[in-house]
Amino acid sequence: MTARSQALSMLRALARKDAGARIIHQFAADPRRTERMGVEAAGLYLDLSKQSWSAEGFEAALDLARTCDIEGRRDALFAGEAVNVTEGRAVLHPALRAADDADFRALGEPVSKGVAETRALMAAFATDVHSGAETGGAKQPFTAIVHIGIGGSDLGPRLLWDALRPLEPTIDLRFVANIDPRDMGEALSGLDPETTLVVIVSKTFTTQETLANADLAKAWLAESLSPKRMVKHLIGVTAAPDKAEAWGCGRTFGFRDWVGGRYSLWSAVSLSVAVALGWDVFERVLDGARAMDAHFLEASPEVNAPVLLALAQVYNVEGRGRHARTVAPYAHGLRRLPAFLQQLEMESNGKGVKRDGSPVDTATGPIVFGEPGTNGQHAFFQQIHQGPQVVPAEFVVVGHTSDAAMDAREGDAPLWANALAQAQALMLGKTEAQARAELIAAGAEPDEADRLAPHKAFPGDRPSTTILLDALTPEAVGALLAMYEHKTFVEGVIWDINSFDQWGVELGKALARAILTDVADGEPSPGLDPSTAELMKRLMV
């Protein structure tokens, strides 16, 4: 049995033992629990004391992390080694937010100079768009940007914009991802081609949805602009500039193959947001992420936020069979955080084989879902509180969510008070006896109270983590998203999987191409399964 297997077995055994004690009782057993399971990192505060682990379970999780050489594997990533083992690539998203004088190397090749050069080009472009030095083909200033991309070429930039945009932006930034033409139709509605910049973001510049939408946008521009003028409105952001130029982009901003799609928001992938927000705001996002990188590199495991966040997840998945996690950002500006984390975590760690190709010996990535608070409370929290499955919750709580609220301090309390109350209710629950007593006190007859009490009881003992941000600043958003990237990496190390490829998305793409070929031929292929053939016949009419 390897040291890792032994550490996993110990964690599972202690987790089973922990199941015999309620979370709330762990506080009495360990007066320093909140201190030991609370961690400050790059301006964020994490409270993991409402997780199910006992002090022993917590230590066993840390032992597992150390046994898996978390720190050595982290250093290998930052050193630019080929940690993406199936594609033989480095994984260096930290290089994108490093200082200009950093010296990151990808497989030995110095890359920081190139990063700094691209950032300088992005900054100059953002400044020129705002100053009017950069205009459309008809010499009109740009007042709108349409960002076309999908997956990692959409989710991160979209989240940054939602989180940091002013209420009345000087540039109207719109996002298009879906191949459904309605998505593009809504984005273009009301825009003027002469004052609209189209930014096409695709690492490969081969993604079907993005190319289809780029063609729609080009056709829309062509209705008003000559080909010569139109090129000023078409920017490509890609690791394949030759493809972008061949397609018709007037200018491209590049990034390298050691930037994973779901880890790319720090790169030129966020050009549209950096322009619309202003370069100074985007730089502050990078500053926040860099601060989290420093924390991840320097903090020992027991006070390392990404490590502890990952261990809570591994404890729940491996130790308690809890294969889902709900993420509830209590800030309207973070409403797309669950969607961003779905790609980051599930595309990174939704894997069935280990790095060496052998079947996994763990459960691997959880199902991540969520909605902003308090909306989720009025949608699916019923099940989180009373359903038979225990679904750990993660509350991302922002002390001040907007300038308006900053003025009226009490404006934020109803939001964060709800988040704290939800975490408390999940932990404490309510016994049938308590529910019955409340019913009696409210005037119910004893037999009515007996009848309703089971329906009004809450099992409680349901785990959660709370992450506090003082305010929704660019730095806090950068630190938060970088923390989740590192958390995802740490989980992948423990599960011994490759968190940086995504072969699982390829089969569906290939089959879609085959179906489209059948559509062009006018009938389903003879060998097609009967279900798909029947559905196609109904849709092809």
Q: Which of 262, 325, 351, 436 binds ligand F6P (CB under 6 A)?
A: 262
Q: Which of 509, 523, 534, 537 is an active site residue?
A: 509
Q: Which stretch binds ligand F6P (CB under 6 A): 132-140, 204-212, 387-395, 471-479?
A: 204-212
236/245 Cα distance (integer angstroms):
8
Per-position DSSP letters for 359-386, written without gaps between them: BPSS--SPEEE---TTGGGGTTHHHHHH
Q: What is the DSSP letter of 458?
A: B
Whether 347 sits among the annotated catalytic residues: the reply is yes
Neighbour count for residue 409 (Cβ, 10 Å) = 10
178 lies in the site for ligand F6P, by CB under 6 A? no
3-class DSSP state of 143: coil
Site residues for ligand F6P, 455-514, by CB under 6 A, read 502, 505
Q: Which helix (H) or strand (E) holds 109?
A: strand 109-110
Q: How far is the CB of 236 from ligand F6P (least distance, A)?
A: 11
Q: Which of 49, 153, 313, 498 binds ligand F6P (CB under 6 A)?
A: 153
Q: Which of 25, 139, 378, 537 is an active site residue?
A: 378
Q: Which stretch binds ligand F6P (CB under 6 A): 87-95, 196-204, 332-340, 380-388?
A: 196-204
Closest CA to 238 of 278, 208, 267, 195: 267
The set of residues, in sequence order, having a beta carbon less than 8 Å from that of 416 and lying 6+ positions away, is 330, 397, 398, 399
173/28 Cα distance (integer angstroms):
51
Q: Which of 26, 52, 135, 210 binds ligand F6P (CB under 6 A)?
A: 210
Q: How far is CA 318 from the centre of its chain?
A: 22
Whether 378 sits among the annotated catalytic residues: the reply is yes
156 lies in the site for ligand F6P, by CB under 6 A? no
Site string for ligand F6P, 323-362 (x = CB under 6 A): ------------------------x---------------
Return the number of the residue (207 or 313) whose C-beta is nearest ligand F6P.
207
150 lies in the site for ligand F6P, by CB under 6 A? yes
Q: Which of 318, 347, 371, 475 is an active site residue?
A: 347
249/234 Cα distance (integer angstroms):
5
Instruction: Provide φ and ψ at 98, rounded to 5°.
Output: -80, 165
23/462 Cα distance (integer angstroms):
8
Q: Which of 147, 203, 351, 462 binds ligand F6P (CB under 6 A)?
A: 203
Q: How far is the CB of 357 from ligand F6P (least distance, A)?
A: 21
Q: Which stretch binds ligand F6P (CB under 6 A): 202-210, 308-316, 473-481, 521-529?
A: 202-210
Angle at CA 156, nearest 5°, toward 153 and 159? 135
- Upstream peptide bond of 374 is cis (omega within 30 degrees of 0): yes
365 lies in the site for ligand F6P, by CB under 6 A? no
Return the number of the residue (154 or 371) whose C-beta is nearest ligand F6P.
154
Assess contact for 293 and 482: CB atoms under 8 A: yes
Per-position DSSP letters for 296-339, written without gaps between them: HHHS-GGG-HHHHHHHHHHIIIIIH---EEEEEEESGGGTTHHH
Q: How far is the CB of 501 from ligand F6P (least distance, A)?
A: 9
Q: Which stretch binds ligand F6P (CB under 6 A): 150-158, 183-191, 410-418, 533-541?
A: 150-158
Q: Which of 49, 118, 196, 207 binds ligand F6P (CB under 6 A)?
A: 207
Return the number of the residue (34 or 204) whose C-beta is nearest ligand F6P.
204
202 lies in the site for ligand F6P, by CB under 6 A? yes
Return the number of the residue (204 or 383) whose C-beta is nearest ligand F6P.
204
User: Which residue's entry shows tokens 């500053």?
Assistant: 287
79/107 Cα distance (integer angstroms):
8
* Active site amino acids: 347, 378, 509
Where on the chain is the footprint of ligand F6P (CB under 6 A)? 150-153, 202-204, 207, 210, 261-262, 347, 502, 505
